[in-house]
Every structure is written in structure tokens, then in C-alpha cells.
Structure 1
């Protein structure tokens, strides 16, 4: 395999959590395979007279705390100069994120995941294509309709649609005399966007599951356990990773979602599942690859680059 020039569009490299960050693990593996590594932030990307460019930094990387990167060169480069561009910046998935995908669509580089696919697969909304696989779900802004939905269950979870890591997620009961007040405040805080509500699944107390999907095929699974007193299992809010295995339900969910992922050219996705119900389809910057390797020995970055090298 020839040396590839690889760029990663991501959040600032100095803010990476070294023993957790999947983007860093992907970069370290690419470097070990002899490829040249660059990165830029979304704000470094721009269009100028027919060419999409970025203020990019060539780096060497490692998984060593305190010295996980070294910058060797900073230059404005045409994105077409790169063989592969990884889109790895975190949500919020707002219009800045969307506009950035429009720019990346103008390049000849292999962009992973593809800009159009990232736009088409809204991480929380795309599950609505699979009503038989998901919990009872409601999306909208109508407070009275939301309350009617919530009264069907002991508790519901309200979610802001375009955040991540358990941010913008609360649990309410329709029997709460202040339900309307709390729900109205939640809806108002989102701005103009709808919210998503789902029946609360008590089984989340035993954790949820992240299914890693490469090229539409299930690769592995890992469990996430919520901290005491919280129902959210996200590591960003104190959840803990634990070993997990793919079961028949996981494989069936992946098989159902795979045609959509393949249609959109999604190379790397993370499906979140609670009690056999699909909760989210992550395509912007799926995480937990380092935790997977520590807990199971499975090397997702290696499998990822083996696939990408064939695509190039």
C-alpha cells in the first residue's frame, strides 16, 4: 500500500483525552501503517476561487499522555491534495456543521464518512425509519401532544436532537404536576428545533450497548453502564465502559440498518441499543474504540484502515 496523505477534520488536538479519544487512535494506527497525518479544525476550512482549502498541520501522534502530538508543519493546503479526509468533529450538528459538509462535497479526496451521508443520517432522527426497532417515540414541539404521549408511560426521556454525549437529555413523568412547566422550559431552550421524546426503558440501569459497524457489517459491541443516580450511560457524563458481545438481536438490528448505511456510503457507524431497542445511529464521530481494545482485544482502528486502504 502506498503512503497516503490523510487529514482529520476534528476538534482541537490539544483537547484530546489521550486514553479515550477514538480520533487519536485512528491517527496513531494510520501513522503506524506509514501514512502522513495532518489535521485541521472545522474553522480552518474555507473556499477560495474554486478551491476548498484548509489551514492544516502535519503532526506525529502517540497515545502517550502529555505528549500525544508534535506539530512539524503548518500550511494552507488544497483539500484535493489529500487522499483521505476523516470527518471527526463532535456535534452539535448545527448549520455550521452542515455548511462544512457542503464545502467538503466539492473536494476530490475520499471523505469519510461522506458529507452527504452525514447530513442524511441524523443521529437521533434517522431511527424513525425503523419504527419496529425503536422505543415508542415522539418528535415535535406541541406541548399538549407531548403531554398526551407522555401519559402513556410511567416516565419519558426528552432529548435535544442535535447534541451528543448525553447532553440535553432529561427524564420526566407526566404525573408530575409541573410536567408542562418543565417540558415547556426544555422545548423553549432548544430554540426553534423540535425535540424527541421516548418511553423510558428501565433496563438502561443495566447499561446500554454500542454496536460498532464497519461497511455495514457488525464488528463488535461494548456495554456502557450509568453511574449511580443517573440513567444516562454516556462516558461523557460519568458512565463506565464494560465488555460486551454481539448477540442475535444486535445482528438483526445491524442487518436492518445496513442498507441505509451502505446507500449513504457510511464506513464507520455506532449503533446505540437499550434492551434490544435502537436508540441512535452515530455517524459523525463514533467513539469507544480504545475502550473496546482494552476490554476485548479487538482492534477497530486496524480494521478501519484495512477497509479504507482498499477504498482508496
Structure 2
């Protein structure tokens, strides 16, 4: 296998949580294979007289907490100079994120996940394609319709669509006298975007599952457990990771979602599942592969680069 020139479009490298960062794990595996590893942020990308370029840094990376990276070289490079570019910056998935995908569509490099697919698969809204797999879900901005939906359930969860890590997620009791006012305030705070509401699933107290899907096939899973009375299991919100196994429900969900992922060219996705129900399809910057390896020994970065090298 020839050495590839790989770039990772990501958040600033100094902000990485070393023992948890999936982008870092992917970079280390690429480096260990002899590939040239670069990184840049979305703000480093620009269009200049017909050429999309980035102010990029070639880096050496490791899991050393004291010094997990060293920038070896900084250069303005045409994106066409790279063989592979990974989209790995975290949401919010705002117009800055969307605009950046237009830049990336102009390069001849192989971009993973593909920029058009990242636009097409809204991580929270894409579950609307699979109503038979999901909790009862409502999406919109009509407050009266939201109140009518909520009355069907004891409690509902409201979500801002384009954040991550449990941010912009609240739980309300539909019978509370101030439900309408609080839901309206939440909707107003979301701006012009719709919001998502779902029946609350008490089973989340037993954790939610991150199902890793690689090239359309289930690869492994871990469970995230909420802590301290919080119903959110996201590690960003204080949840903790635990071992989990891929079960028949997971395989059924992965098989149902796989045609969409294949159609859009999504190589690596993370499906969030609670009690056998699909909650979210993560395609921007799926995380938790370091936890997966620690708990199960499954090495997703290795399998990921095996796939990519097979495409090169």
C-alpha cells in the first residue's frame, strides 16, 4: 500500500480529550501505517481563484496526555494535494458547517464522510425515514400541534436539531400547567429551525447504546449510562461508558438504515439506540471508538483504514 497524504478537518488539535478523542485515534492509526497526517480547521479552508486551499499542519500524534501532538510543518495546500480528507469537526451543524461542505465538494480528494451525505443525513431528523424503528416523534414549529402531540404521553423530550452531546435537550411533563409556556420558550430559543419532540423512554435509565456501523455493517457497540439523576446519557453531559454487545435489535436497525448509508456513501456512522428504538444517526463526527477498544478489543480505526486503503 502506497503512503497516503491524509488531512483531518477538525476542531483545534489542542482541544482534544486525549483518552476519548476518536479523531486522534484515527490519526494515530493512519500515522502508524506510514501515511502522512495533516489537520486543519474549517476556518482554515478558502477558495482562491478556482482552487480550494487550506492552511494545514502536518503533525505527529500520540496518546501522550502531556504532549499528544507536534506540528511539524505548516503550509497552504490545495485540497487536491490530499488523497483522503476526513470531516471530523463537531456540530453545531449550522450554515458555517454547511458552507464548508460546498468547499469540500470541489476537491478531487476522497472525502469521508462525503460532504453531500453529511448535508443530506440530518442526524436527528433522518430518523423520520424509519418511523417503525423509532419512538413516537414529532418535528415542527407549530406550538398547538406540539401540545397536542405531547398530550399523548406522560413526558416528552424536546431537542434542538443541530447541536450535539446532549446540549439543547430537555424533558417536560405534558400535564404540567406551564408545559405550553416552557415548550414555547424552548421553540423560540431555537430560532427559525424546527424542534424535535419524542415520547420519553424511561428505559434510558438503563443507558443508551452507541452502535458503530462501518460500511453498512454493525461493527460493535458500547452503552452510555446517565449519572446523577440526569436522563441524558451522553458523555458530554456526564454519562459514563460501559461495555455492550450487538444484539438482534441492533442488527435489525443497522440492516434497515444500511441502504440509506450506502446510497449516500457513508463509511462510518454511529447509531444511537434506546431499548431497541433508533434515536439518532450520527454521520458528522461519530465518537467513542477509544472506549469501544478498551471495553471490547474491537479496533475500529484499524478496520476503518483497512476499508479506506481498499478504496484508494
Q: TM-score range by the shorter chain?
A: over 0.9
Partner residue, 2:24:
24
Q: Residues 147-196 of structure 1: CA distance to partner in whole angstroms, max 9, x if unpaired?
A: 11001001000000000000000000111111111111100111100000
Partner residue, 2:308:
308
Alignment TM-score, normalising by the size of structure 2: 1.00
Q: Distance in 1 between matches of 2:154 and 2:188?
A: 24
Partner residue, 2:265:
265
Alignment TM-score, normalising by the size of structure 1: 1.00
The structural deviation recorded for 1:228 is 2.2
Partner residue, 1:242:
242
SS of alignment partner, residue 196 of structure 1: strand
Q: Distance in 2 between matches of 1:78 and 1:231?
A: 45
Partner residue, 2:114:
114
Q: Distance in 2 between matches of 1:31 and 1:278?
A: 34
Q: Residues 8-45 of structure 1: CA distance to partner in whole angstroms, max 9, x if unpaired?
A: 00000000000000000000000000000000000000
**In the TM superposition, what are the counterparts of 1:271-286 in structure 2 within 5 Å?**
271-286=271-286
SS of alignment partner, residue 188 of structure 1: helix
Partner residue, 2:57:
57
Q: Which runs of 4+ in 1 moved over 6 A?
A: none
SS of alignment partner, residue 305 of structure 2: helix
Q: Residues 247-304 of structure 1: CA distance to partner in whole angstroms, max 9, x if unpaired?
A: 0110000000000000000000000000100000000000000000111111010000
SS of alignment partner, residue 272 of structure 1: strand
Consecutive unaligned residues in structure 1, runs of 5 or more: none
Partner residue, 1:185:
185
Q: Distance in 2 between matches of 1:293 and 1:215?
A: 18
Partner residue, 1:162:
162
Partner residue, 1:132:
132
SS of alignment partner, residue 132 of structure 1: helix
Partner residue, 2:98:
98
Consecutive unaligned residues in structure 2, runs of 5 or more: none
**Aligned-CA RMSD value:** 0.5
Q: Residues 113-142 of structure 1: CA distance to partner in whole angstroms, max 9, x if unpaired?
A: 000110010000000000100000000111
SS of alignment partner, residue 162 of structure 2: coil
Partner residue, 1:4:
4
